[in-house]
Amino acid sequence: MKRLLLVLVGALLIMALAACGSSEEVETSNESAEKQESNTVEEEQEEVNAEAVNNNDEENMDEESEEETLKDDEEMLIDEDDYSVEHQKIERTKDEFGDEFIDVRMRVENKTDDYLDFSAGSLSVDDEMVNDENYDMYIETEGGKSAEDRLSIYSFEEDDYELPELEDNLELELWVDDEDMEREDKHDVRIEF
């Protein structure tokens, strides 16, 4: 009888412990599910907040960035047997940092079999010289290819230099060189407004 009682008490203890363990697991599972749900809600809220910030940044960027087309007609500037340079568009841009740019978009065509480099020498706008620290242009083209790039005139917010208005003209000394420097062609280019 003692043995039977011992076996029954042992079985009851095992069942009681198993029942306690399973209720802890159920509670842990419930807590885990609540935490996951809470984390999911928090993650969704963070995503919504991040999206709102991104949209706000894009709206501010659009509001702060300005672009104005100054000249939109194509004009052949140089048409030689070996190459040509065509002006396509001139735009004035102010970015979200307050930096201003004038981009003179150009298309160059290399009609030779050699590399040609197109670069800006001196530059003046409305008969005033532009400091060479405030503009650049370098277009390299492989033989038989064409490329689109730009002459950029720029003024950074912290600079004292203000971009010219481009009311009358833009004059550019345009250099065309080959990679051996055997060719050094200089062209004086003038774009009227």
Cα 23 versus chain centre, distance: 56
What is the reported pTM?
Answer: 0.62
The residue out of 64, 95, 119 marking a domain boundary is 64
The residue out of 64, 79, 107 marking a domain boundary is 64
Q: In a 3-state reduction of DSSP, which class is residue 166?
A: coil
DSSP state of 72: -
Q: Could you tell me if 187 and 93 lie in one domain?
A: yes
Q: Could you tell me if 164 and 96 lie in one domain?
A: yes
Q: Could you tell me if 49 and 93 lie in one domain?
A: no
The residues pairing with 94 across neighbouring beta strands, listed in sequence order, are 66, 100
| Beta-carbon contacts of residue 150 (< 8 Å; ≥ 6 apart) | 103, 104, 105, 106, 137
Distance (Å, rounded) from C-alpha 82 to C-alpha 20? 91
Q: Which of 83, 137, 143 is nearest to 115 (CA)?
A: 143
Distance (Å, rounded) from C-alpha 141 to C-alpha 175? 13
Distance (Å, rounded) from C-alpha 192 to C-alpha 127? 12
Q: Could you tell me if 55 and 97 lie in one domain?
A: no
CATH of the domain at 184: 2.60.40
Best-predicted range by mean pLDDT among 3-7, 71-75, 103-107? Answer: 103-107
pLDDT tens digits, 18-50: 766 654 444 555 555 555 555 555 666 666 555
Domain count, the chain: 2
Q: Which domain holds residue 2?
A: 1-64
Q: Could you tell me if 54 and 133 lie in one domain?
A: no
Percentage with pLDDT > 90 across the chain: 45
Residue 126 sits at φ, ψ, to 5 deg, of 50, 45
Q: Which amino acid is at 127?
A: D
Q: Quote the pLDDT of residue 57.
A: 47
Higher pLDDT, 167 or 158: 167
The residue out of 15, 49, 64 marking a domain boundary is 64
Distance (Å, rounded) from C-alpha 89 to C-alpha 73? 6
Q: Could you tell me if 2 and 78 lie in one domain?
A: no
